[in-house]
Amino acid sequence: MSRYPRRALVASPTPPAQAARAELADAWDWCSLDDADLVVALGGDGFMLQTLHILLERRRPIVPVFGMNLGTVGFMMNEWRRHDLDGRIERARAFQVTPLTATAVGVDGRVHTLPAINEVSLLRETRQTAKIEVKVNDRIVLDELSCDGILVATPAGSTAYNLSAHGPILPLGSQMLALTAISAFRPRRWRGAILPDRARVSLRVIDAGKRPVSAVADQREIRDVAQVDIAMDRARELTLLFDPEHALDDRITMEQFIA
């Protein structure tokens, strides 16, 4: 008997993903997302993030996801193949991904709680340089960082925006977070830090009225923030399933050798 007898099928609205969904429509007695033991997701990395965020919002417990790439890069996805889907799912390796939670306080005093699987970033909204005070575990480590922005990335997200900002690649399971500056002006030589994943990071916007800053958690943005507190959310761990020959940890490691 299958480990995942109740499965849900979700697909990106793109034509390739919808065509693949039609091919799989009769392959299993699919159920709703709310009733599933497993989700099969068809699309690209952006759709995978969207699916994981839906599970974070709707499901307790959060069920595993087996993704197949019908997008561009497909870093978080398996290869698209209809053949032997049942066997692939049964043989798949499970990888746990722990999301971040960002608590953002706006200049208006409103509080927003946002989950992030890849990263939480603070970005200047205007031509004015952002000025940000950085705390780690309630200790001020930078009195004033002048920059375009700053981000906190998980190992799963370290090869995304973090890598583009010249942050370090973190192996999955490293129990680390990347704290990466985006176009830092002062201190000029500071580019970031690697922190234990139990660290709590607090980012306070200095002179938020004159130098407005937005906070972005994966795909969701809150504008005009005054402070953002970021920490791992271990109560909402996610599980991704991968073909044994297409493992997420190995893909992240090998990104360090791509020229």
Whether the pLDDT of residue 10 is over 90: the answer is yes
Give pLDDT tens digits for 139-165.
999 999 999 999 999 999 999 999 999
Residue-range domains of the chain with CATH: 7-98+237-257 (3.40.50.10330), 100-234 (2.60.200.30)
Give pLDDT tens digits for 86-106.
999 999 999 999 999 999 999
Tokens of 65: 């996801």
Q: How many CB atoms lie within 10 A of CB 206?
A: 16
Calculate what percentage of the chain has a pLDDT beyond 70.
98
pLDDT average, residue stretch 212-230: 97
Give pLDDT tens digits for 99-134.
999 999 999 999 999 999 999 999 999 999 999 999
Residue 29 CA, chain-centre distance (Å), reads 30
The residues assigned a catalytic role are: 45
Residue with tokens 């704290």: 179
Q: Which residues are annotated as a binding site?
A: 45-46, 118-119, 148, 156, 159-164
Report whether the peptide linkage leading into residue 61 is cis, meaning its omega lies within 30 degrees of zero: yes
Residue 242: which region, alpha, beta or left (left: phi > 0; alpha: psi -120 to 50)? beta
Q: Which residues have a Cβ under 8 Å from the Cβ of 143 and sit 6 or more positions away?
A: 133
Q: Which residues are annotated as a binding site for NAD(+)?
A: 45-46, 118-119, 148, 156, 159-164
